[in-house]
Amino acid sequence: MIPAPDLGLPRMNNLSFWLLPHSLLFLLVSTLTDTAVGTGWTLYPPLSSLEGHHSPCVDEAIFSLHMSGIAS
């Protein structure tokens, strides 16, 4: 085995590399939808609940954060 940590699991490294740009793209798409996210950077629960936003933009933003967490 090569003692380099990035080359030990090359497929996992490649998956991580490609999930991050898709996560950013998904976050940008969520801001360009009907009403944008509008909850600030904290995703404060009263602002991100169904009463505050009826469109799926908040769900898309949260999913994007999950994707970036998986990529790291």
pTM of the model: 0.68
User: What pLDDT does residue 54 have?
Assistant: 67
C-alpha 52/C-alpha 46 separation (Å) is 7
Task: Pick out the chain residues at pLDDT < 50.
Answer: none
Indicate the residue type of 55.
S
Q: How many CA atoms lie within 13 A of 52 on its CB side?
A: 15
What are the CA-CA distances from residue 34 to residues 2, 4, 42, 55, 56 (Å)?
49, 46, 20, 7, 9
User: What pLDDT does residue 31 have?
Assistant: 79
Do 43 and 22 touch, CB atoms closer than 8 A?
no
Indicate the domain borders of the chain: 20-30+49-72
